[in-house]
């Protein structure tokens, strides 16, 4: 296996008029970049891959990410959520119940 974990963060952008909204309008790209930098700073980028994703079709819960191989979906809103997912799930394999969707 090349990566132990693979994280897909939706950064999809829809028109402002779209009733579903989009993850991009909720700062998903900034938060995805933040998570990617933290993984690299911890020198885990050879084990954990942080990817940008197009629409994951969970717009109403956005921004969202899905972590494989577990297939766990999260809604995250800020840096504190990113830190909790990183420290609990990515580093210690403990699902963050309050952010799981």
Spell out the per-residue pLDDT of the chain, length 101, in tens.
689 999 999 999 999 888 888 999 999 999 999 999 999 999 999 999 999 999 999 988 989 999 999 999 999 999 999 999 999 999 999 999 999 99
Q: How far apart are CA 24 and CA 40, in angstroms?
A: 23
CB 49 within 8 A of CB 65: no
Q: How far apart are CA 35 and CA 9, in angstroms?
A: 10
pLDDT digits (tens, 9 = 90+) for 19-42: 888 999 999 999 999 999 999 999
pLDDT at position 89 is 98
CB 98 within 8 A of CB 76: no
3-state class (DSSP) for residue 5:
strand
Which residues are bridge partners to 10 per DSSP?
53
């Amino acid at each position: 296996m090349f990566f132990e974990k693979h994280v897909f963060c939706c950064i999809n952008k829809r028109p402002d008029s779209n009733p579903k909204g989009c993850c991009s309008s909720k700062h998903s790209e900034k938060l995805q970049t933040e998570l990617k930098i933290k993984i690299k700073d911890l020198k885990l980028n050879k084990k954990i891959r942080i990817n940008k994703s197009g629409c994951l079709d969970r717009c109403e819960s956005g921004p969202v990410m899905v972590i494989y191989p577990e297939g766990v979906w999260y809604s995250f809103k800020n840096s504190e959520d990113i830190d909790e997912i990183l420290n609990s799930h990515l580093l210690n394999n403990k699902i963050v119940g309050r952010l799981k969707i």
